[in-house]
Structure 1
Amino acid sequence: MKKADCNILVEKLVSKIRCFGSKKLSYSGRLVLVNSVLTALYSYWINIFVIPVSVLNKLNAICRNYLWDGGADFVRVPMVGWEKVCCPKSEGGLGIRDSFAWNIAAIGKLVWWVYFNPDRLWVKWVNQVYLKGQDWKDYKPSGDLSWGWKSVCKVKDKLDAGYQNGQWLLDVRGYTLRSGYDLIRHKFQNVPWHKQIWNSWSLPKHQFIGWLIAREALMLKDKLFSLGIVPDDDCLLCGKGGENHTHLFQTCEYSRRLLDEVFKILRIALPISNPLQRIADGQFSQVQKGVILSAVSATFYHIWLQRNKARVDGVLQRPEFVRDLILKEMKTRIVVLLSQKTATSDNVWLRSRSLIV
């Protein structure tokens, strides 16, 4: 496989993005398309062939550029590094598969076949042409052999930590792509907030902005000021204090008023400084936790939205008006997710707060 052989694959991704017409899609909408469409276009190739590194770089670049800017070309600087984006949600990422690690894990199947499938025709050919009676674990290819075969041998060395006495240690069923990928990919520590952010009761666009807030990745005025892009870092909502993640979503007077308005409707008293942790520790049912988390997530999203409107249009809507928008979105989401099996106590709790009829 040469770079020229894979050009059609790159062209397919670029043409698919042009067909999306996705400039108006939210980050969460583009994330769905990356996971369900773009990665699916090249997953067959990655599972079958050793793909050149330059092509894998291009595939990653196209997916990254589309996620952050809606196009295949590099325009906007990513808010979060691609390595962190590709880690699981439990580790603070978005769960996008990294093409490098996935290609290595897929070729790892060939390594497993040589170990445990001697009756396969391809394995018989490998034993006859390359191994010639040598032990597969200690085998080293000579320099005059093909690039493809040497790539398979490099994959064997990369997966060596998962084998002991020829047995795959990470899955009782033997080698799997999932276990191989988990061994190869870059790992980060688990984050305590992922279950609160990726709560199914929250709208996807709220989840994504909540994820950026949790990672402190939004381009607020403190970052822009440090780069010399804006003349000051004053908060656009209250004008008091420097605009950073802690101020905008915790101590800003406008944000505190909006959160307080939403909490009054829900009839709960939570510390505005850290509501997510209090919800997780509180004595609420799963439905109630989901609804409260969705309210906090929607409030943070609208704080970010109001901040952008204040910057671009010079307009700032009253907290009471924004509160009504949040409740309207919550009611729509609750109608979609609420089932007939919902406990009576949860239905009473929702009706008492006018979230359902």
Structure 2
Amino acid sequence: MFVIPNATIKRVEAICRNFLWDSSSEYHRVPLVGWDRVTLPKDAGGLGIKKASIWNIAAVGKLVNWIYTKSDRLWIKWVDNVYLKGSNWHDYKPANDASWTWKSICKVKEKIKDGFIDNLWYPHQKGYTIGNGYDWLLGTHASQPWSVIVWNDWNIPKCSLNSWLIMQEGINTKAKLFAYGVCTDDRCILCETQTETSDHLFNYCDFGKQVHELIEEWIGRSIPTINELMITNRNNMKWKAMALIQTTYRYCVWTQRNRARHELCVERPVIVFERMKKMIRSQVRRKYPNRDGRSDFDAVGSLMRFLN
């Protein structure tokens, strides 16, 4: 609840941003996704990381709320006696010779005062909290329909993060690198026939198609696309299993593409499939240990083959 100087907040956010992309507090890599998008809620397309600048305003807002509600605290009585002197807090303006901290608190009051009606915080009946103050300051953002697929609770975490990057166009495909002048051509390194974009890699690449066919042969049914998953029932096990397959498939194809680029080694599709199969089987066992044959797992239907 202390007022943190802007320079300090910027440094804190820089450390968080650099650590996210490079596991270091110093700047070494260009961020793949802008910080403003990273700090959005997950359902709005972000990672749900709190933005320090907004969080500090919300935290100082707790002091503002205490003054609004005339909380029975010694500090509030001191503020009323030294600064307010009976003034209406909602319309109060600090004097020019007031302290920096008090002026900063008053600036925060101006930013959040529209959230107070009759000196009470109106969005939540339980009163002001730093959490609901942060949400109010962050505002509303359009929900991204793909977020439920990316953050499906059946997914493997590293596959979820990889799929999030893909959805945000954050992966460095050859098309992007070629536009930056980093590589000499933009041909797909796996099939060498078309421009390597994320859409090509995961939907049209011959290498990916072969992996896809092996998966469908394994589970005995076709796999819904990401767009199809967005519009189907999201509350059953079969949907969660399909989301798990899609995110794991994208992770395995992307890691194979990176290995082909950096190690000049393209494995056969069946090897990538076996690796993916092992990851999926392990994740299903983790979600449903020792449940082979039970009715709740039977709802997955042909996906019972995961454990065979």
Q: Same fold (TM over 0.5)?
A: yes
- CA displacement at 1:120 relative to structure 2: 1.4
SS in 2 for 1:102: helix
1:352 and 1:153 map into 2 onto residues whose CA distance is 59
Aligned-pair distance for 1:279? 3.3
Q: 5 Å matches for 1:36-185?
A: 48-185=1-138
Provide the residue aligned with 1:286 in structure 2. 236
Any unmatched runs of 5+ in structure 1? Answer: 1-47
Q: Cα gap change, 1:284/1:208 in structure 2, threshold over 3 Å: closer, same or farther?
A: closer
Aligned residue for 2:264, secondary structure, equals coil
- Equivalence map 1:172-251=2 (5 Å): 172-185=125-138, 187-251=140-204
Shift of the alpha carbon at 1:216?
A: 1.3
- Structure 2 counterpart of 1:299, from 226, 238, 249: 249
Aligned residue among 275, 282, 287 for 1:325: 275
- In the alignment, is residue 356 of structure 1 matched against residue 307 of structure 2? yes
Letter in 2 for 1:306: Q
Q: Letter of the aligned partner of 1:346 in structure 2?
A: F
Contact kept in structure 2, 1:265 and 1:353, CA below 8 Å: no
Q: Distance in 2 between matches of 1:134 and 1:282?
A: 57
CA distance in structure 1 between the partners assigned to 2:104 and 2:44 by the alignment: 30
Q: 1:129 to 1:285 in 2, by over 3 A?
A: closer
Aligned equivalent of 2:263:
313
SS at match of 2:91: coil
Q: Write the deviation string for residues 145-191 of structure 1: whole angstroms up to 9, x where unpaired.
A: 10000000000000022112322121111111111101222653210
Look up the SS of the partner of 1:159 in the other structure: helix
**What does residue 298 of structure 2 align with?**
347
User: Shift in Å at residue 283 of structure 1?
Assistant: 6.6
- Opposite residue 295 of structure 1, the aligned amino acid is I
Which runs of 5 or more structure 2 residues have no equivalent in the other structure? none
Report the CA distance shift for 1:284/1:138 in structure 2 as closer, same or farther (over 3 A): closer
Report how many aligned residue pairs link the two structures: 307
Supply the AA of the counterpart residue of 2:307: I
1:101 alignment partner AA: I
CA drift at 1:144: 0.7
> How far did 1:70 drift?
1.0
Secondary structure (helix, strand or coil) at the match of 1:78 reads coil
Distance, in Å, in 2 between the alignment partners of 1:257 and 1:117 is: 68
Alignment deviations for residues 79-121 of structure 1 (CA, whole Å, 9 cap, x no partner): 1011110110000000111111110001101111011134211
Inter-CA distance 111–347: structure 2 relative to 1 (3 Å threshold) = same
Distance in 2 (alpha carbons) for counterparts of 1:285 and 1:142 = 57
Counterpart residue type for residue 176 of structure 2: K
Percent identity, please.
36
Q: Is the 8 A contact 1:259 1:296 kept in 2?
A: no
TM-score, length of structure 1 as denominator length: 0.81
Distance of 2:87 and 2:207 partners within structure 1: 72
Q: Which amino acid in structure 1 is aligned with residue 26 of structure 2?
A: D
* SS, match of residue 307 in structure 2: coil
Q: CA deviation at 1:74?
A: 0.2
Q: Deviations over 1:271-314 (max 9, x none)?
A: 5xxx1232354578722222221111111001101110111111
Distance 1:210 1:336 in 2: 21
| Cα separation, 1, equivalents of 2:291 and 2:276 | 26
Q: Return the letter of the residue paired with 2:109.
A: K
Question: Which amino acid letter does the alignment assign opposite residue 298 of structure 2?
Answer: N
Give the aligned partner of residue 285 of structure 2: 335
